[in-house]
C-alpha cells in the first residue's frame, strides 16, 4: 500500500476514511488537527494560543505545524505506511513535504463533498469522549438513540470548540484561497487522485479508496 496525503475541505471525511485504512491495512494516521487539539489542551501559553487558533478557524504558522509533523514522523518505524491528514494547507508546506518526504512513495487524494453538507457535518457533529464515535444531529442515521448520549458508552457527547458556523466559514474560505492551489502542484507531478465522498454509501467510497491506494506491486 502507498503512503497517502489527504487534502480536503473541513469535514469532508478525512478522519473516517483514515480510520478505515488504519483498521483494514494498519496505516499510521497523522492528523495535524489532532496534534493541535492535543497541544491546545495543555495548560500553557502555547496551548492557549493553539486553542484560540482552533476556535476561530485560523491556520497555524507554517513553521509550527511543520515542526509538530516532523516530531511525529521521527517516532515512526521505517516500515510504517502513513496517512497525512491536514497538511499541506498551502504551497509552502507542499514544497517542504516534497523535499522532506522525498524517499517515500506518496500519493495525494483530494476528497470532495458538497459545501452545504460540509457545514452540516461540522455544526451538527458531536463526539463521545470515551470511544471517539461521531454523531450528527442533522443526519438521521448518525443521531444517537438518546439525545446527547453515546449509544456505546452511555456518556454525554461533546462538541469541539471549532465545530461552529463562523469557524467553518473561515476554514472553508482559507481552504479555497490557500489549499486549492496545492492541487495543481500535485496534479502536474502526476500524484493527484480525486475521491467524491458525497454519497452516504460508505462501502462504495471505501472500495474506490482502496483501488486508489493499492500499490500496483501489491
- In angstroms, the CA 218 to CA 51 distance is 42
Q: Which fold has domain 3-113+178-213?
A: Rossmann fold (3.40.50)
Cα atoms in the Cβ-side hemisphere of radius 13 Å centred on 36: 25
Q: What percent of the chain has pLDDT over 90?
A: 47
- pLDDT(49) > 70: yes
β 82-85/28-31 pair status: parallel
Q: Residue 23 — pLDDT band, cuts 50, 70, 90?
A: very high
Answer with the residue of higher pLDDT: 192 or 214.
192
Q: What mean pLDDT is predicted for residues 148-160?
A: 94
pTM value? Answer: 0.82
pLDDT value at residue 130: 93
Average pLDDT value over all residues in the chain? 88
Calculate helix-pair angle for 202-213, 14-25, nearest 10 degrees.
70
- In angstroms, the CA 133 to CA 191 distance is 32
Instruction: Break the chain into its structural domains and give their ranges.
Output: 3-113+178-213
Poorest-pLDDT segment among 14-23, 129-138, 166-175, 194-203 = 194-203
Amino acid at each position: 500500500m502507498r503512503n497517502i496525503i489527504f487534502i480536503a475541505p473541513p469535514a469532508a471525511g478525512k478522519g473516517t476514511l483514515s480510520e478505515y485504512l488504519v483498521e483494514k491495512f494498519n496505516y499510521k494516521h497523522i492528523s495535524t488537527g489532532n496534534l493541535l487539539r492535543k497541544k491546545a489542551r495543555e495548560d500553557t501559553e502555547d496551548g492557549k494560543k493553539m486553542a484560540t487558533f482552533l476556535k476561530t478557524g485560523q491556520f497555524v504558522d507554517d513553521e509550527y505545524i511543520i515542526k509538530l509533523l516532523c516530531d511525529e514522523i521521527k517516532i515512526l518505524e521505517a516500515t510504517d505506511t502513513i496517512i497525512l491528514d491536514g497538511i499541506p494547507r498551502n504551497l509552502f508546506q507542499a514544497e517542504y513535504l516534497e523535499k522532506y518526504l522525498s524517499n517515500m512513495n506518496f500519493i495525494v487524494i483530494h476528497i470532495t463533498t458538497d459545501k452545504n453538507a460540509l457545514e452540516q457535518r461540522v455544526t451538527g457533529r458531536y463526539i463521545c469522549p470515551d470511544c471517539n464515535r461521531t454523531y450528527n444531529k442533522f443526519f438521521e442515521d448518525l443521531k444517537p438513540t438518546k439525545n446527547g448520549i453515546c449509544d456505546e458508552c452511555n456518556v454525554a457527547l461533546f462538541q469541539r470548540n471549532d465545530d461552529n458556523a463562523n469557524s467553518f466559514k473561515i476554514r472553508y474560505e482559507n481552504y479555497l484561497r490557500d489549499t486549492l492551489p496545492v492541487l495543481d502542484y500535485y496534479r502536474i507531478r502526476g500524484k493527484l487522485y480525486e475521491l467524491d465522498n458525497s454519497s452516504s454509501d460508505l462501502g462504495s467510497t471505501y472500495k474506490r479508496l482502496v483501488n486508489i491506494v493499492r500499490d500496483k506491486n501489491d
